[in-house]
Amino acid sequence: MPLLGRLGCNGRSCHGSFQGRGDFRLSLFGYDFSGDHEALLAEDTGRVDPDDVDESLILAKPTDEDMHEGGKRFDRHGWEYRVLRNWIAAGAKFQSGSVQTLESLEIQPAEIRVDQPDQNIELKAIAHWEDGSAEDVTPLCRFSTNDESIAAINEQGVVTSGETGDTHVVVYYDNAVVPVLVIRPLEEIQIAADQSVADRQGATAIDRLIEAKLNKLGIIPSARCTDAEFIRRVSLDITGILPSGEEVREFLADESPTKRTELVDRLLESPAYAAWWATRMSDWTGNNAEQMNNVLPVRNVSTRLWFEWLRTRLEANVPYDQIIEGIVTAETRQEGESYLEYCEEMTKACAGEPERFAKRDGMPLFWARRNFQKPEERAIGFAYTFLGVRIECAQCHKHPFDQWSKNDFDEFAKLFTPIRAGNANQIAPESRKTRDELVEKLTGGKELKGGDLRRAVAKAARDGEVVPFGELVVNVRGISPQERQRRAKAKKAGRTLPPARVPGGKILGLEEEIELSEDPRPALMQWLRDESNPYFAKAIVNRVWSNYFGVGIVDPTDDMNLANPPSNAALLDHLANEFIRHDFDLKWLHREIVASDAYQRSAQTNASNLADRTNFSHHLPRRMPAEVVFDMVALATGSTSKAEKMRDDLDKMAIAEANPRLRNQSTFALDVFGQSIRETNCDCDRSDAPSLLQSIYLRNDEEMYRRIADRDGWVAEICAEMGLSAPQFGADPRQTPQQRAADALRRQVISRVKQFNRLPEDRQSKMRPQLEAQYKKLARRMKSDYQVPPLKKLIANPDSWSELSPVGLRTGEGDQDGVATSLSDVVQEAYLRTLSRFPDEEESEVAVQYIRQSENPTSGLEGLMWALVNTKEFIISH
């Protein structure tokens, strides 16, 4: 079978396809030995004929292109022909008992380094069997490459070098999949004198491991990013929130050498950290409202409860393994809690007190989703979520790029068969009486069913009445109660009985079978957090890393198969081991990553790292996630008070699951920018890819114009301060009654001065500070466009200000009274609140000139904000 696999006979495009070819079907990649043997020796097919060996079709067809749809696969005089012929001549027997287990597959060389293109290196594959023997199986192996431009490989296992860079070639034999690293370093490159080079030694273990790989490749990493780039990058990555202009201003002015570390600490302690990462974990765990519509009696609250449960734990920095334990081994009721007490608590939680649910030990909603009820669905979702492994292929056949067989999948899926979770009808037997009493009370004794009953329960819950809730139930099976008693007595007497045979399943990669006479989930959790687990810690470390770098150490992040090895295996091993050693401390992991030189590198490349995308030699610009983009636009275009309110009340923001309108009903913007749909637990449910629709939304969508021209927006705020006409969405700015507004302000000032003049002198002395304050406030709103007489002159002769006298828009500092806002200040503020940096001299000059040359200042300010939000610098991490 390995030979037929190497020849491609059992590939998906040939006899290994679902329907087979020419009425002949083999198991895909040849791992159903008994089934394949039956297919080969099926009567009256002539495929294998021990009585007339040379007429066997598996010898005749592959040697004659005219007779075989698959073409010529080997020569009649070749070794492949002789191997198959000898097997047929010996009786074509299937000897399952004599088949040895492959212990390991050794590849020589284990790593390849080449210096030139078109170099050939021959691989040798040595199989090590369970009896200690070894043999060269190179001719029976299949080979592939992960990047043909860097390293091609032929059917004989000969690697041919190509372009500079690194990739893996992969060797397949039996159930072994072995990647081999291939490196072709850059030739000596002269770096320009003005290109800074980062410290090659590195300050942390992360940097040392990355530097070791870069040294092999001959890549010089980029310099550190600027302070402006860092505060924007780390704020968006850790909290999902754009820093305010004032925060940027203060950070850039801070000269402390530890300010970056202190900023990271503040961000990790902020409520936004817990909110944003609860949203990310909601993606990975499958928090989908549509799949839980019938789980709770009140619709559209399940996602909020799920999110709050995660957010509470992230805010308290509960260890990652304990968070996952609360999901994997979740129970619906607290210890000692009755069914009625459970229903009372859940009713309050669904009625607007989600913090009650967040305080509960477990989060059973994970098991209750409609698309997560079959054992096969749970096996696939569990592997995605907690292991970063895609095992769905093994549901039908041997996984082509990993060790999992269909039998492995079936054994793993068995572990999830006892778990029952769903709607309110799924409850423990001892709870049924209380449930019936609750239903009778809320229906008034009427016999309601189906939708009528659901609506009655939902209405009662909204009215604050206690309603019944479903439970997670584990239906263990196997030995009888009598057998349990017999075994308990034997144990008490010190006697040992033979193991009870209970149907069970196996955990991926382990031979031990878990009996299903008890809840299998604690054993699953014990396996997850075990130090020897090859996936659990690496999966979350890899996902967190990808959040900060735009690419995982293993990429895609949920495809940790043997043929998709880490770009830096030593780095992933180090982070996973240290994460475990630090008791699964997520904040430690975040700090460790963002403190590295690798994270703090500039996006500016040099001649050596220009093409690097996987070795972290420079920052990879990438579009921000959908929720972050949505909030960035709102924060940048909103007024100062509105933006501050959003930052203080995260429930109004898309990065927090608490806004049901944004998550459950969605919005066009979030859809366009690829918010996770959470239909599966696959990381591919979220898309960070750019698209034309995204550009159209930012440039021309009605919602964008509304935000920029919002009466509670930043443009309106600046216009009010400068005495300009307010922006009006849907109207031509040139038609704004600016002159009338300015005249109204002028008359208001004159009226207050005349009121002041009518006061007695003793009252005037007391009221003058108030008048001066009012004067400055009103004057500030119009001095950018019109001349305002000094207050002393107005008091002496209020009627002297009989008409408005326009002045040119100022580009320098304010006037001597300090009440005018300069255009250069406005431009500076616009840059700080959108791009998190000061404009350079040329940018400031261009922006000011644009505003002055616009039809009116309001239109110019709107145009400036529109332009900044549409820059690449705004929408991407840089």
pLDDT tens digit sequence for 116-152: 999 999 999 999 998 899 999 999 998 999 999 999 9
**Mean pLDDT, range 517-541, rounded to an integer:** 91
Considering only residues 483 and 715, tell me which one the structure prediction assigns the higher pLDDT.
715
HSE-up of residue 453 (Cα within 13 Å, Cβ side): 19
pLDDT of 691: 85
Tens digits of per-residue pLDDT, 718-753? 888 887 777 765 443 333 445 656 666 777 777 778
pLDDT of 736: 41
Two tokens at 259? Answer: 């300010």
**Mean pLDDT, range 537-544, rounded to an integer:** 96
Q: Is the pLDDT of residue 813 over 50?
A: no
**Mean pLDDT, range 541-559, rounded to an integer:** 94
**Mean pLDDT, range 565-577, rounded to an integer:** 96
pLDDT of 819: 29
Q: Other CB atoms closer than 10 Å to residue 444's CB: what's the count?
A: 8
- Which of 488, 560, 485, 473 lies closest to 521, judged by CA? 473
**Mean pLDDT, range 769-774, rounded to an integer:** 79
One DSSP character per residue, 826-842 reads HHHHHHHHHHSS---HH
pLDDT of 185: 93
Q: What is the CATH number of domain 102-184?
A: 2.60.40.1080
Residue 188 pLDDT class (50, 70, 90 cuts): low
Q: Is the pLDDT of residue 875 over 90?
A: yes
Max avg pLDDT among 11-25, 321-335, 851-865: 321-335
HSE-up of residue 872 (Cα within 13 Å, Cβ side): 4
Q: Is the pLDDT of residue 198 over 60?
A: no
Q: Other CB atoms closer than 10 Å to residue 359's CB: what's the count?
A: 13
Q: Is the pLDDT of residue 602 over 70?
A: yes
pLDDT of 332: 92
> How far is it, in rounded angstroms, from Cα 279 to Cα 598?
26
**Mean pLDDT, range 590-602, rounded to an integer:** 97
- CB proximity list for 478: less than 8 A, separation 6 or greater: 500, 502, 503, 515, 516, 517
Tens digits of per-residue pLDDT, 328-380? 999 999 999 999 999 999 999 988 899 999 999 999 999 998 888 888 999 89
Main-chain dihedrals φ then ψ at residue 474, nearest 5 degrees? -110, 110
Tens digits of per-residue pLDDT, 626-640? 999 999 999 999 999
pLDDT of 487: 62
Residue 812 pLDDT class (50, 70, 90 cuts): very low
> How far is it, in rounded angstroms, from Cα 508 to Cα 585?
26
Share of the chain above pLDDT 90, in %: 44
Q: Is the pLDDT of residue 598 over 80?
A: yes
Residue 505 pLDDT class (50, 70, 90 cuts): low
Residue 785 pLDDT class (50, 70, 90 cuts): low
- 3 contacts 31 by C-beta, under 8 angstroms: no
pLDDT of 458: 78
> How far is it, in rounded angstroms, from Cα 222 to Cα 292?
47
* pTM summary value: 0.82
Tens digits of per-residue pLDDT, 473-500? 888 765 555 656 666 777 677 776 554 4
Considering only residues 87 and 590, tell me which one the structure prediction assigns the higher pLDDT.
590
Of the given ranges (260-274, 310-324, 627-641, 790-804), which has the lowest mean pLDDT?
790-804
Q: Is the pLDDT of residue 381 over 80?
A: yes
**Mean pLDDT, range 388-417, rounded to an integer:** 79
**Residue 576 CA from chain centroid, whole number:** 18
Residue 501 pLDDT class (50, 70, 90 cuts): very low
Share of the chain above pLDDT 70, in %: 87
Q: Other CB atoms closer than 10 Å to residue 450's CB: what's the count?
A: 7
Of the given ranges (92-101, 204-213, 412-421), which has the lowest mean pLDDT?
92-101
> How far is it, in rounded angstroms, from Cα 467 to Cα 463?
10
- Which of 693, 674, 670, 694 lies closest to 685, judged by CA? 674
Considering only residues 763 and 613, tell me which one the structure prediction assigns the higher pLDDT.
613
Long-range contacts of 570-579 (CB under 8 A, 24+ apart): 570/209, 570/212, 571/206, 571/209, 571/210, 571/213, 572/538, 572/541, 572/542, 574/205, 574/206, 574/209, 575/206, 575/541, 575/545, 576/537, 576/538, 576/541, 577/537, 578/205, 579/320, 579/537, 579/540, 579/541
pLDDT of 848: 93
The pLDDT mean for the chain works out to 84
Q: Is the pLDDT of residue 680 over 60?
A: yes
Q: Is the pLDDT of residue 818 over 70?
A: no
Eight-state DSSP code of residue 24: B
Eight-state DSSP code of residue 497: P
**Mean pLDDT, range 427-431, rounded to an integer:** 84
**Mean pLDDT, range 167-176, rounded to an integer:** 91
The residues spanned by each domain of the chain are 2-98, 102-184, 270-373+421-462+519-529, 623-708
Q: Is the pLDDT of residue 314 over 90?
A: yes
Considering only residues 425 and 127, tell me which one the structure prediction assigns the higher pLDDT.
127
Considering only residues 786 and 243, tell me which one the structure prediction assigns the higher pLDDT.
243
pLDDT of 232: 97
pLDDT of 200: 45
pLDDT of 659: 54
